[in-house]
């Protein structure tokens, strides 16, 4: 029936697994919950081994990091059932009918439940990540919480050429849509824990933009469908990319101060992203 798959990295996921297990049991379905740690080699792995004592639940820690795409593919390869539900570590399930909501529309090829931020606003240095989830991520396709048929997944696995953070989910869903498989949106979100401080979130953002540029160069993503490359194209037509790149470099220390404050601005964060992307395209100071 249902395989719940949780990729994790140095996060205590016992509360998440227990909550999902209780809901599956209450729903009266055949299920399993599989969680793989992607080579964190952290003390948290010793805590998570307790998952193996929960009925129908498996935890395994990989000795080396294989990447966000590969770990999701490994989870699917180990799944026994025909429905796959991917849930990210670092989230929590607040709805008592979370599993039942998915089961009501299990005949859909792909269903995205979405992600929401905690109602309680995070404080610095976590405010930026909380704001981004609350204002942006809740309305985008993401791999943090989605259900699909195993047959669909194996015809369209995650691209393992991506080994660092970012855009693996964008590529995954765009590949599906290019084949005429349109994800169904269900208001059934998980709650994201704003555990990335501003420094960590900015590092992840930069890695994601590097991945974006790589995918465009490899012609795996259409730049005309992506917000940042579309904006870069307009700036280039105006002859303004060098100006934006220089402004980004000059203002970076002040931007980082803002991101680490209780007054973190998504407008400034957007400027940071396009500025960094302009630096990538200009190939100055940044190599990868």
User: 164 and 239 share a domain?
Assistant: no
Amino acid 285: pLDDT = 43
In a domain, 210, yes or no: no
Tokens 């490359």 correspond to: 229
User: 29 and 114 share a domain?
Assistant: yes
User: 180 and 254 share a domain?
Assistant: no
pTM: 0.90
Residue pair 58/75 in contact (Cβ under 8 Å)? The answer is no
Domain boundary at 195, 211, 244, which?
195
User: 70 and 177 share a domain?
Assistant: yes
Amino acid 21: pLDDT = 97
How many contiguous H segments (helices) and E segments (strands) does the chain have?
11, 10
Amino acid 194: pLDDT = 61
Q: CA separation (Å) from 141 to 81, 138, 206, 278?
A: 24, 8, 20, 25
73's enclosing H/E stretch is helix 68-78
User: Which domain covers residue 244, as residue numbers?
Assistant: 222-282
User: 155 and 231 share a domain?
Assistant: no
User: 176 and 102 share a domain?
Assistant: yes
3-state secondary structure of 6: strand
Count of the separate structural domains present in the chain: 2
Amino acid 113: pLDDT = 93
User: 123 and 249 share a domain?
Assistant: no
In a domain, 132, yes or no: yes
In a domain, 62, yes or no: yes
Q: What is the CATH number of the domain that holds 139?
A: 3.90.550.10
Amino acid 288: pLDDT = 35
In a domain, 162, yes or no: yes
210's enclosing H/E stretch is helix 198-217
Please report, in tens digits, the pLDDT of each residue of the chain (288 residues total). 999 999 999 999 999 999 999 999 999 999 999 999 999 999 999 999 999 999 999 999 999 999 999 999 999 999 999 999 999 998 999 899 999 999 999 999 999 998 888 888 889 999 999 999 888 766 677 888 999 999 999 999 999 988 888 889 999 999 999 999 999 999 999 998 767 899 999 999 999 999 999 999 999 999 998 999 999 999 999 999 999 999 999 999 999 999 999 999 999 999 999 999 999 997 644 443
User: 182 and 264 share a domain?
Assistant: no
Amino acid 143: pLDDT = 86
Domain boundary at 176, 195, 214, which?
195
Amino acid 193: pLDDT = 78
Q: How many CA atoms lie within 13 A of 279 on its CB side?
A: 21
User: 255 and 133 share a domain?
Assistant: no
User: 177 and 115 share a domain?
Assistant: yes
In a domain, 202, yes or no: no
């Amino acid at each position: 029936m249902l395989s719940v798959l949780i990729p994790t990295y140095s996060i205590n996921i016992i509360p998440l697994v227990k909550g999902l297990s209780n809901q599956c049991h209450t729903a009266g379905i055949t299920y399993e919950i599989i969680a793989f740690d992607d080579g964190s080699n952290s003390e948290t792995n010793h805590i998570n081994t307790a998952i193996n004592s929960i009925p129908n639940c498996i935890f395994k820690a990989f000795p080396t990091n294989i990447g966000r795409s590969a770990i999701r593919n490994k989870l699917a390869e180990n799944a026994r059932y025909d429905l796959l539900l991917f849930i990210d570590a670092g989230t929590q399930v607040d709805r008592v009918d979370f599993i039942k909501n998915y089961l009501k529309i299990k005949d859909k090829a792909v269903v995205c439940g979405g992600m929401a931020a905690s109602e309680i606003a995070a404080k610095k240095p976590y405010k930026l990540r909380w704001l981004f989830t609350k204002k942006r991520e809740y309305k985008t396709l993401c791999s943090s919480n989605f259900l699909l048929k195993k047959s669909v997944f194996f015809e369209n696995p995650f691209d393992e050429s991506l080994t660092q953070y970012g855009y693996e989910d964008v590529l995954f869903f765009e590949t599906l849509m290019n084949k005429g498989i349109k994800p169904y949106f269900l208001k059934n979100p998980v709650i994201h824990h704003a555990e990335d401080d501003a420094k960590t979130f900015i590092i992840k953002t930069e890695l994601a933009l590097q991945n974006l540029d790589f995918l465009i160069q490899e012609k795996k993503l259409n730049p005309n469908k992506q917000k940042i490359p579309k904006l870069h194209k307009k700036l280039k037509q105006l002859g303004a990319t060098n100006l934006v790149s220089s402004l980004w470099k000059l203002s970076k220390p002040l931007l980082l101060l803002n991101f680490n404050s209780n007054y973190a601005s998504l407008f400034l964060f957007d400027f940071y992203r396009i500025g960094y992307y302009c630096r990538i395209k200009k190939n100055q100071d940044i190599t990868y």
